[in-house]
A and B are shown apart, each in its own frame.
Chain A
Amino acid sequence: MASDPLDALRLPVVPVVPRPGFAAALLRQIAAAETLGTGPAEGRANQAALRDNPTVRYFVDDLGAAIAFYRGRLGFEEELVSVPGFAMLYRGGLRLLLSVPGVRGAGAPLPDGSVPRPGGWNRITLEVTDITGTVEVLRAAGVPIRADVSVGVAVRQALIEDPSGNLVELIEPAAGYRERT
């Protein structure tokens, strides 16, 4: 077949690699824009605090172990990994940043010389549908259970630890209790 003179003008064919993370992020962006009733950036520049995906930063000693834990045990998606000191994960509307102490950026020492480290008691709270079963699965997988399932006012809750000793709280709303909007 004779070559088409227009071939020289066509763009090269680029193989497309499936990128589910890209699609997921795009959907999140669209959902966030719809929630806000504005575009992703426009119309919000003057607000004191921009309201979008809540973000939490955890410090971890071992980036790979932390990523494996949050992905494999708690259903997070990996969005971005920048070895050696940083990763960005998602679960639902939560963006979880993992930073390694001592690495430049968030892990850098403070002016007074103190260095960030894992641990403490402040934590993210993840809702699960069967907390007893979830805790048993995690326990069987060797995940440290800091506090077993207990009953609170409106929820049952448990505290587990990531490989660096950071707490993650699991909650199951009590029967009849629904998230208020």
Chain B
Amino acid sequence: MSTVSVRYIVDDVDAAIAFYRDQLGFTELMHPDPAFAMLTQGDLRLVLVAPVPGGHPGGGSRPMPDGTQQRPGGWNRFMLEVADLEATAGKLRAAGIRFRNDIVTGIGTKQVMIEDPSGNPVELFESLRPEARLGSGAPRASA
């Protein structure tokens, strides 16, 4: 069951579905409207929405009260843990996926940022220390 939900703004919902499904292993749960789709991977629910006009029934991507349109991009992102970052990155590069940077080695992880077709970032990481692994943060909890 998806317990965590993230909303990404995309220009083209169909292109985004193909990217997240084919390149990152997401499953499509629903796509009831051209401007809306819900995907899932593990406990993450990813809601993809294209900007819609003010009167559209779907409320997640309407303009703000001041008229500002929502759009893709920015730096905030969800992260996916992979077992072998080099291998995953190589496969994505070969598939023509855009990268914002090369693999960076941080304190607890190696990480790299890729972009979906609308330019939204997704961070891929590989744990270098047990406490960086998802769901096993216990050893650092008292730090």
Contacts and interface: CB of A to CB of B under 8 A. Distances in A.
Interface of A: 17, 19, 21-22, 24-26, 28-29, 32-33, 35, 40-41, 44-59, 79-80, 88, 90, 92-95, 97, 104-106, 108, 110-111, 116-125, 127, 146-148, 150-153, 155-157, 159, 166, 169, 171, 179-181
Contacts of A180: 29
A19 B76 contact: no
A45 B83 contact: yes
B53 interface: no
B81 A49 contact: yes
A149 B121 CA distance: 28
Interface in B100-143: 100-102, 104, 106-107, 111, 120, 123, 130, 133-138, 140-143
Given A47-B83, A125-B7, 19 more contacts: A24-B141, A29-B138, A48-B25, A49-B24, A49-B41, A50-B81, A50-B82, A51-B41, A52-B81, A54-B42, A55-B79, A56-B6, A80-B140, A123-B76, A124-B5, A125-B5, A151-B59, A152-B58, A179-B1
> What band does the interface of chain B fall in when counting residues whose beta carbon is under 8 Å from A?
35 or more
A79 B134 contact: no
B80 interface: yes
Contacts of A157: 59-60
Contacts, number: 188
Nearest to A41: B133
Contacts of B106: 104-106
Contacts of B78: 54-57
Contacts of A94: 3-4
Given A40-B133, A55-B79, A80-B143, A22 B101 contact: no
